[in-house]
Copies of this chain bind each other. A is one copy, B any other.
Amino acid sequence: MGDLSPTQQATNWLTAFEGALSRGDVAAAVGMFDAECYWRDLVSFTWNLKTCEGKEAIADMLAAVLGKVKPSHWQIEGEASSGNGITEAWFTFETAAAKGRGLLRLKGDKCWTLLTTMTELKGFEEHKGAARPKGAEHGVVRERKTWLERKAEEEAALGYSKQPYCVIIGGGQGGIALGARLKRLNVPTIIIEKNARPGDSWRNRYKSLCLHDPVWYDHLPYLPFPDDWPVFSPKDKIGDWLEMYTKVMELNYWSSTECKSAHYDEAKQEWTVVVERDGKPVTLRPKQLVLATGMSAVPNMVSYPGAETFKGVQHHSSRHGSGEDYRGKKCIVIGSNNSAHDICADLWEHGADVTMVQRSSTHIAKSDTLMDLALGGLYSEAAVKNGITTDKADLIFASVPYKIMHTFHIPVYQEMAKRDADLYQRLERAGFMLDFGEDGSGLFMKYLRRGSGYYIDVGASELIADGKVKLKSGVTVKEIKEHSVVFSDGSELPADLIVYATGYGSMNGWAAKLISKDVADKVGKCWGLGSATAKDPGPWEGELRNMWKPTQQPGLWFHGGNLHQSRHYSQFLSLQLKARQEAIPTPVYGMSEVHHVS
């Protein structure tokens, strides 16, 4: 193989692989993988999000699906590259039902990682580029309807005289991004949002909030931010963008609407969803129900003894507004993750007396360092210059199997620990309990495993290191009195404000609330990989639980995550929904068992 170019090497592999698959020769196909190997499929082979780990898992999957999937037309895209003993190549392929795109990594002449993703369903492609609508209907048409009239008619009918195929509960970035994709796929959809305007889920947060992820990571589908968009978007600005986006994409977005209940009729295979729209009940009967209520939607309210006697203000961080209301006041913030830090800094900046209560150790990553070391290669101005489009970055990101993802992250955070050693030392001297994750794999693995446990430092850590924001660390709250908080070490602090920055519960809490506890338990915990680390119990799952893929409850889906995930995974969820709408067979391979109810 030594004298072959990377492109020739990858082409040879793809050709041989296509041959084996065409012949139905699973053994030959599996023989082309390395001893350590991973095949991650997003919908195209499995109608599921599935990582097959090892040859045996790949053989099982192929044996089950090959006859139906009928893959073909494997074709390298551009030139392959090589480095560190790995050859990397983009490729396209087809199945009986769809077109796809993938990323192949070879070790020598064997496959190490393979990513296959569905890009479009044959016969149901988006009408874009050369296939875009004409807009004006040329010629002469008696009683023609204008765009505005058709839009008004659709808005008036959908949900009343005409039932949507899909209802999405939650109109934040997740619901909006998915709604945009379903609109382009012509899947009649209504998005239900309790707030008055798209973007309010951002606007209603604490005043100082800015996105912690940078702009290159945050684009919505189809309409990227302009090139002067700030690196870290202020919350109201991203709120306005979401509102504009919702209108431009012509989404059927029911704001000021609350979902009251949802019930699945197994016989009819249909949901009955009762919502209250502008105060009036409306019953919707969709075939598919998506909960896009957000990872951070069911507040974890901790109930300390005596809390009901507290005479000051106490609320969950999700209800916290601006620090300017607490000038000169004594404020206690319980928690030490992102929101806790942001709120402490905002309070201090407005002249409050602030104490953070750190209950357990926290991972701190300086924003600049994080952007530089962890995200810069894929999501940065430099990446854009290197030709790494958002779409490519998302696929590269998706191509790293969860099983070994931490091994790539550990050295990044070792470097971070070195680079910012001074800050970490000063934090520890101030009594702050630090960690980098149980295996040192840092922020993103914590996000995937448990969705918590870290602060992306944009300044508050200095306040803590300096003692400007006071710290109670390694204690718990024992009791709350009328004007104070008593801690487990016996100390007591006066308080005018208590903020519970105590995080959020699993998304299936929403299923319990809206549908039933039975359905919530049947579906089980959402998010997390089964890494057997804190708040992410095993067994190993290999993919995020229940996210963007079929669940144990037919017709029920979960969508959520940050802007990156909302953008990227909405593609695969929308294709799964479209296929069902069009009655394309979607045999799901490798449904996950449920190991945890929440």
Scan A225-266; emit 1 where CB is below 8 A from any B CB, else 0. 011111111101100110010011100000000000000000
Instruction: Give the segment of A77-85, A114-122, A127-135 that binds chain B.
Output: A127-135
Contact of B127 with A463 in the complex, beta carbons under 8 Å: no
Q: Across the interface, which residues of B come within 8 angstroms of A134, CB to CB?
A: 230-232
Contact-residue size bin, chain A (C-beta under 8 Å from the other chain): 35 or more
Does A404 lie at the interface of the complex (its beta carbon under 8 Å from any beta carbon of B)? no
Q: Across the interface, which residues of B come within 8 angstroms of A367, CB to CB?
A: 138
Contact of A463 with B136 in the complex, beta carbons under 8 Å: no
Checking B139, B148, B230, B368 against A236 with a beta-carbon cut-off of 8 angstroms, the contacting residue is: B148
Q: Across the interface, which residues of B come within 8 angstroms of A148, CB to CB?
A: 234, 236-237
CA A462 – CA B234 in complex, angstroms? 54
Q: Across the interface, which residues of B come within 8 angstroms of A138, CB to CB?
A: 367-368, 458-459
Which residues of chain A from 539 to 587 have a CB within 8 Å of any chain B CB? none
CA A184 – CA B459 in complex, angstroms? 28
Q: Across the interface, which residues of B come within 8 angstroms of A140, CB to CB?
A: 345, 348-349, 459-460, 462-463, 468
CA A215 – CA B133 in complex, angstroms? 11
Given contacts A236-B146, A367-B138, A248 and B226 within 8 Å (CB-CB): yes
Does A223 lie at the interface of the complex (its beta carbon under 8 Å from any beta carbon of B)? yes
Contact of B368 with A142 in the complex, beta carbons under 8 Å: no
CA A236 – CA B135 in complex, angstroms? 11
Contact of B136 with A349 in the complex, beta carbons under 8 Å: no
Q: Across the interface, which residues of B come within 8 angstroms of A142, CB to CB?
A: 349-351
Which residues of chain A from 448 to 503 have a CB within 8 Å of any chain B CB? 458-460, 462-463, 468
Given contacts A222-B227, A227-B132, A228-B126, A139 and B248 within 8 Å (CB-CB): no
Q: Across the interface, which residues of B come within 8 angstroms of A143, CB to CB?
A: 349-350
Q: Across the interface, which residues of B come within 8 angstroms of A462, CB to CB?
A: 139-140
Q: Which of A136, A146, A231, A463 has the most CB of B within 10 A?
A: A136
Q: How far is the CB of A137 from chain B (nearest CB, A)?
A: 8
Contact of A136 with B232 in the complex, beta carbons under 8 Å: yes
Contact of B230 with A226 in the complex, beta carbons under 8 Å: no
CA A228 – CA B249 in complex, angstroms? 10
Q: How far is the CB of A38 from chain B (nearest CB, A)?
A: 33
> Can you list 22 residue pairs at the A/B interface with Cβ under 8 Å?
A128-B228, A129-B381, A129-B384, A132-B229, A132-B231, A134-B231, A135-B210, A135-B215, A135-B230, A135-B231, A135-B234, A136-B210, A136-B234, A140-B348, A140-B460, A140-B463, A143-B349, A146-B234, A147-B237, A148-B236, A240-B247, A244-B244
